[in-house]
Amino acid sequence: MSIHKQHIMRIAAVLALTAASTSAFAQSADYRRGYEDGYAAALDGRGPGPGRGGLHIVEANYGVRGSVCNARRSVRDQVERNRGVVVANDKLCGDSAPGKVKRLQVVYRCEGSEPLRVVARQGDRLRLSCRR
């Protein structure tokens, strides 16, 4: 076999290995994203897992009119960590309006019930619960 053919064979082998590793990485990224979405669903009470009695965070926004951020994931995490207590502050998703007092608006529902809307001013605490 000539040196040129050996060189071409080596390049082809490297390209094949690179393509295989890129595909494996893409699959692992998709797997990770699916795992995280499934875990999030369990935390929200939409699936089996460590949910809070079927409590599902439908929507959570923090800020002032015209400058609001999506705080759904942070609210869900606080509900899990703090037994249903959520603190309305800039740690939820950043300071969307420096120098202005912000509000946290949360829409949540419990299994088998209509959605509930609660609001807290910056610095206040909310207790989300499915107990009646």
The upper half-sphere exposure of residue 89, i.e. CA atoms within 13 Å in the direction of its Cβ, equals 8
pLDDT at 114 (0 to 100): 92
Closest CA to 128 of 68, 88, 69: 88
Structure tokens at 126: 């909310």
Write out pLDDT tens, residues 45-58: 444 333 445 899 99
**Domain extents in the chain:** 1-43, 56-127
> For residue range 74-131, what is the model confidence (pLDDT) as tens digits?
999 999 999 999 999 999 999 988 999 999 999 999 988 899 999 999 999 999 998 7
Gap between the Cα atoms of 22 and 26, Å rounded: 6
Instruction: Assess contact for 67 and 96: CB atoms under 8 A.
Output: yes
